[in-house]
Structure 1
Amino acid sequence: MTELKQGRGPLYRLYIGRLRRSLTPETVPHHVAMMIDGNRRWARQLGFESAAHGHRAGAAKMREFLRWCDDIGVKVVSLYLLSNDNLRKRDSQELSDLVEIIAELAEELSHERDWRVQHVGRSDNLPQGLAAVLADAQRRTSGHTGLHVNLAVGYGGRGEIVDAVRSLIAAHHRQGGSLEDLAESLTPEQIGEHLYTGGQPDPDLVIRTSGEQRLSDFLLWQSAHSEFYFVEALGPDLREVDFLRAMRDYAERDRRYGS
């Protein structure tokens, strides 16, 4: 049991293999959304003076998490890295450290395997350097056909819906349509096409670490019919066995899509 808890040793590897074999291509979620939480608590518990140690450990864990997803056949992963609320509420030094860490992560992911990186969120409220790195990573990987990685940075679910409606109205206006016509014909599918994730499948599974059980303004529209899985481990402590247990749990669920 100690080996399983520590995430190492022959028993751990045997259990990992057993969990992997229990999964089939039909039961693996197509799109997984991850809310990594607990980085600051992790740093505090280990006695670090700065939350940056936790954020950096969390970023390293996200690289691992993406590889785990890719290895079992997940096609799309959305990572919640920096919300609009974070931009307003974090103290200046922590935010500065976090911006640097996210920029490094985006740069590294754009060179990982054949992954395609997409920035999901607004650029106009981000520091110029971070916005440029995200745009460059997205441009560099636009032709890649591997794992599609959405980086939610400067993101807010309510703001995304507002932006989608604005975009939809503007497009309708350019085509010469009236507001009355749009009001008569408006559908959820039309709004969905104008979201930051337009054209992508909605997440099948949303995972959150650190035992917190709330959405925190993440993919509000897209997660209407998603399954949720909450992990007690703090973000940097997430193990592959935790991930595979989430996949097994998802595979055993009877998805009812809101019914």
Structure 2
Amino acid sequence: MTTLKNSLQLDTTSVPEHIAIIMDGNNRWAQSRLLPKLSGHRAATEAVREVIRHCRERGIGYLTLFAFSRENWNRPPEEVKGLMSLLYHSLRQETKKLLKYDIRLRVIGDLSRLSDEIQSSIKEAEQKTLDCNSMELCVAVNYGGKWDIVRACKKLAVELKEGGITPDEIDEERIEKELSTAGMPPVDLLIRTSGEQRISNFLLWQCAYSEFYFTSTLWPDFKAADLDKALLIYQKRERRFGKTSEQLSN
């Protein structure tokens, strides 16, 4: 009933262009069921599929998922190994579905630390979906917002040193072109599951004016109805971008 109610209230002409999600709570989901941690990560893949499908149906142009942070390497080795294996097999299995639904894949982050096998699978999936244009799915792996900004600055520093640009040419737009999300719009709505209320070094630049939505729902339990609820709350907010309410109403 809640699903239908939220669906009927949504303004389908005013959805976010870009949604980013911190998929949190897999371990707690598994622990609450007395299951191994990896079972939570496996269960999370179905939530990923459902959210991707629903975002496409809702007309969301860009969806970015935080799959693995740079800090996640500090987790137990067996868990990291399991996550990498899950990533590899997901890439191999899901590419056909992305092609079927005309979804382009982009993977961002420092991929150099990943195995050659995973890097090859990423390149293959990105290449196969290059011409898809119904939606862009961006997956952040070994990613950090600070890393992204530092990387962009280093690239600009090299170009500056070589005389390709002048200091006056470095502005926000120029920096954005060097970020791993180059060509994508800023994040309109950031969702984090599991009840945690922080952004954990995710898309720091890109979330400068994002609306935040925090839910206690654990990621494996996150359904299309939960996404609709987030969209409904987003549509009720007033995005002012530094202006007053009076200015926006005029």
Q: Residue in 2 aligned with 1:215? A: 199
**Structure 2 match to 1:52:** 38
User: Paired residues, what number?
Assistant: 240
**Could you say which residue in structure 2 is the equivalent of 1:196?**
180
Aligned structure 1 segments of 4 or more residues deviating by more than 4 angstroms = none
- What is the SS of the residue equivalent to 2:68? strand
Query: Match of 2:151, as an amino acid?
Result: D
1:123-157 deviations in Å (ceiling 9; x for gaps): 11112222221111111111111210001001011
Structure 2 Cα separation of the partners of residues 46 and 173 of structure 1: 56
1:225–1:258 CA contact under 8 A, matched in 2: no
Structure 1 SS opposite 2:111: coil
Displacement of 1:54 after TM fit? 0.3
Structure 1 position 258, deviation (Å): 4.6
- Partners of 1:205 and 1:19 in 2: how far apart? 17
- TM, length-normalised to structure 2: 0.91
Q: 1:26 to 1:170 in 2, by over 3 A?
A: farther
Alpha carbons 2:50, 2:223 under 8 Å: kept: no
Work out which of the residue numbers 128, 146, 149 in structure 1 matches 2:134: 146
SS at match of 1:221: coil
Match of 2:149 in 1: 161
Q: Please give the per-residue CA displacement for 1:25-75, whole angstroms capped at 9, x wherever unaligned.
A: 432101000111010011011001x21100011122111111111111101
- 1:59–1:101 contact (8 Å) kept in structure 2: no
Residue in structure 1 matched with residue 189 of structure 2 by the alignment: 205
Match of 2:24 in 1: 37
Contact 1:209 1:234 in 2 (8 A): yes
Q: In the TM superposition, what are the counterparts of 1:93-104 in structure 2 within 5 Å?
A: 93-104=78-89
Aligned to 2:131, the other structure's residue is in SS state: coil
How far, CA to CA, are the matches of 2:160 and 2:91 in structure 1?
34
Indicate the SS of the match to 1:110.
helix
The one-letter code of the counterpart of 2:104 is R
The one-letter code matched in structure 1 to 2:82 is D
CA contact (8 A) 1:28 1:247 kept: yes
Structure 2 residue aligned with 1:257, among 237, 241, 244? 241
Contact 1:116-1:142 at 8 Å conserved across structures: yes
Aligned to 1:24: 11
CA RMSD of aligned residues (A): 1.5
Shifted more, 193-202 versus 162-171: the winner is 162-171
Counterpart amino acid of residue 28 in structure 1: V
Q: TM-score, normalised to structure 1's length? A: 0.88
Amino acid at match of 1:110: T
Structure 1: which 5+ residue stretches go unaligned?
1-11
Aligned to 1:90: 75
